[in-house]
Every structure is written in structure tokens, then in C-alpha cells.
Amino acid sequence: MISRTSPRARVGATADRLNVAYLADWVATQAGLARLPGVQYAVSVDGDLVLDGAWGVTDLTSGTPLRTDHVFRVASHSKTFTATAVARLVDAGRLRMDDPLSRHVAELGGTDVGQVTVREALGHTGGMLRDGRDADYWQLATPFPDRATLLDEVLNHGQVYGRGEHFKYSNLAYGLLGMVIEEVTGASYADHVRADLLEPLGLADTSPELDDDVARRAVVGHSARALAAPGLATTFADGRLPVAAVTTGALAAATGFCSTARDLVRWADAHAGGATLVRPETRRLLQRDESVIDRPHSARRGYGLGFESRVVDGRRLVGHSGGFPGQITRTWFDPEERIAVAVLTNAIDGPADVLALGMLGLVGAALDGTDPEHGKNPDAGDDAPDDAAAAHPLDRWTGRFANLWGMTDLARLGDRVWAIDPRRADPLDGAERLTVDGDVLRPEPHAGFGPVGEPIQVLRDAAGLPSAVVVGGMTSWPADAFERQRRAHAAG
């Protein structure tokens, strides 16, 4: 049985204080710059779903607007569900982490692969082949392997490294874990995870495999944008093609899951303390670094048992990504702060990880800008509203402004105004936290190459709305007004 815990109180952690309208606008800007077909996203804080949004279309062919209840293939997110199902069986005494796989999958008896333990398979330290000698099913050239094909692959060509020699990501290992679950429970993998995880947590939009009902609400995946070949035309065209929907056979436990962004942040929050899925010590085992992957020219990454980890700006994040033909997805959560973000894209080159980290940065900035004792910053004034329907006093300083050199957002996060370049993948890269000082916005002092320390002047029209801003002596106008100026200049 899964028990839920009540969210702890956090002063000011509301949709208004986080300014989710700006978060959604930032995602839309980034998605437009990347020319994505569609992106679905969600944010939860302390168990509350504070943002549930979608941008773009389900399918470039039909042009159907993307909704928050459309379903994506979330691929390797499946491993978090499989690992949790295994951990619950371990907690119940029905399985042991040091059981060899052959104890539960009889066909593996007497083989090296059969000696790989459940824990080694969960943590990708069993040395197993990743996808098989013929993995063109990832390009939809062949069907995903069935049970017989998977067993033949691991029995004849299964191991590349010795047990515990290296971290070696393996979808085949998770396919075997799905078989272990079936043997221990006497139910199909899909039936067990539905009854044991999805239904108790109310994850109604989540399924362990594509079926007819899911397919009716599923987005269409798309190939990457096509670029002109060198030496040919210099113009670029999207050239995206739809990618067919397929089932994943015996690899459902590794990559079969379908879900929505809002379900994934609920799932993540359950692992951040929102529900008692497993014993505390088991949860720590799942989320702590079993392996560290630290390669030259690459970000340092960790992997536990079914969960990835990464440290970003001092914040330790846990979660998983998913890559399926035509769809790229990412979920991150901060188990200490109990913040979760999920981003789902329906393109094989969708920057889901970049978008998720950017959103986490904006959420963190909003929460860091909140006075923990009073829930407001002195800049906001004593009349700062608690009602999300009321206008925040700082909103009179905000907007998107543009000039020949680019764009600047003056955005409220928490109870601060920030100057942000919305074109940057990391919204806090080069961002300035500002303080209202009379008729100007003043940045915090620091070293830099730009107009650091110089106040931002906000010019207003007769209605008191910002008509322009002056940064470092250069004027920027509201983005729509500047676009009209630019087009008129080009036409003239």
C-alpha cells in the first residue's frame, strides 16, 4: 500500500509568486527559437501542481493544438517505474537486491548474464549489451524485441564488461528486470505496475505501454530538422517528418511508458517525499549515486538504481530522461526542496533537458527571492497582494523589450524584478536581479563587461505603462512595437 504525506508549508510558493505566466512565456520563446512542433511542461512545488502547460501542436501534419492531456512516449522514464516496482518487492521480502537474475528467469541459468544481480541490473553495472547487436528497431526498421529475441541476444552476446567493471547503460538489463517482476508477482509487467503504482497514485494519464486508448490521445513524434547540405542552397527548412508509433515488446520495462508532464511531476514528487513508496533507506538507495560518469568534455553525471542525478548550481537533482523515435523528454526533481519539473517534446532534437533546467533555474530564482519570514521582499511594498488574482505592484516594471541588438525581459520572480535575455538557454546566464530605486531599476554591483551597475530607466506612457527602457544608454521598446518598426524600416 502507498501512503501519501501532506505537503509541507512554504511561504509564498504559489503560482503567482512563481509567476508561472512568465515561466510559460519563457518556454514558448525557447520552443519557438528551436522551431519545435510542440512542448508540454509542468512544475510542482511541495506537492502542488503550480504549472501545467502546453505549446504548439501534436502533429505538424494535422496542426492539432497540443493540450496538457495529450500523451507522450516518455521512454527511459520507464526505468524509474521498474526500479520502484522492484524496490517495493524487495521491501516486501519477495525479492532480494543480491538475487542473481537466473533465480527468477530460468532461461539464464548457468550463464554469466544469469549471475548479474538485480541491483547490478538496476544500476547498469552488470556489463550487459545496451540494445543488442541489431538495434535498428530504434530507427523503426524492425520490431522491438520480444521475449525470445531478448533472451537469445543476452544469452549469446549479452556481456561486454565484467560485473561491476564499469557503468554501462543497458536497456536489455531492464527488459530482464521486467521478466523478474512477472515471475515474482505472477502477473504481467503492465498489470503489476498499474495495480501497484499507477492506480494508487492516481496517475490516470500514465501507461506502461502504448495501447489503442493511449494512441487516441498520443502526440506524433517528429524527426529532426533537415538542414541544407554544404555547397547547396543556403536556406534552411524544417523538413521534419512524422515518426510512426510502435510498441516496445519485451523492452517495455526499459522504455515503454507513456505519460503527461503533470503525471510525471506527481510521480517525481512521490519520490521527493510526497508519498511513502518504499522504506526511507530504500529510497536513499535508489537515489544515491551508485556510479559516477565523469568523462572529459562532458557534464559530471551520477546514476543510482533507476534514477539519474546531477548537481546544477549547488542543487542536487534526481530524475530521468527519455528518448524515443521522434520524442525527447526530461523530468528533474530536487528531493530536498521538493520541486519537480517535467518537459516533454515531440521531436527527436527537442531540448527537453535544457528547458527543464531553465525552468528549474527560474523557479529557484523566484523562491530565493522570497523573504522566508514574511513571504515578501521590501521592494514589493507593504501592499503586495496575497491574492493571485490581484496585480502585483512590481508588475508595472515588467515586459519584453527589444532593439537592434536583441531582447530583454524585465520579469518578476518572487518579489524581485530580473533582467533576463529570453533567447539564452540558461535564463539566469547574464541575468541581473534588480531593486526598485525611485524611478529606476538598479542592479546589484559586480564586475562585468556590460553596463554593470548602471540603473535601468523605465519610460512610461500616459497610462503609466512601460513604453521603453534604457539600458547602458541604449533604448529598447516593447517587443511588438519594435517588430513593427523593424518591418516598416525594411519595407521603406
Residues 345, 328: contact at Cβ < 8 Å? yes
Q: What's the Cα-to-Cα distance from 335 to each of 20, 45, 210, 358, rounded to whole Å?
A: 21, 11, 30, 18
Lookup: cell for 93? 521480502
- CA separation for the pair 261, 135 (Å, rounded): 28
For 348-361, the pLDDT digits (tens) are: 999 999 999 999 99
Q: Give Cα 161 distance to the centre of its chain.
A: 31
Cβ neighbours of 462 (radius 10 Å): 6
> For residue 279, which amino acid is it?
R
The reported pLDDT for the residue numbered 343 is: 98
Q: What's the Cα-to-Cα distance from 467 to each of 89, 257, 335, 434, 457, rounded to whole Å?
A: 62, 48, 42, 19, 11
Residues 323, 76: contact at Cβ < 8 Å? yes
> Low-confidence residues of the chain, pLDDT below 50?
5-11, 233-237, 370-378, 380-389
First to last CA, the chain: 70
For 319-334, the pLDDT digits (tens) are: 999 999 999 999 999 9
Closest CA to 222 of 35, 408, 95: 35
User: What's the whole-model pTM score?
Assistant: 0.92
C-alpha angle with apex 26: 20 to 32, nearest 5 degrees? 135
Residues 16, 391: contact at Cβ < 8 Å? no
Residues 113, 177: contact at Cβ < 8 Å? no
- CA separation for the pair 172, 113 (Å, rounded): 11
The reported pLDDT for the residue numbered 226 is: 82
The SS3 of residue 216 is helix
Closest CA to 197 of 98, 78, 304: 78
The reported pLDDT for the residue numbered 390 is: 59
For 264-295, the pLDDT digits (tens) are: 999 999 999 888 899 999 999 999 999 999 98
Lookup: cell for 286? 535508489
SS3 percent helix, strand, coil of the chain, rounded to 5, is: 35, 25, 40
- CA separation for the pair 320, 264 (Å, rounded): 10
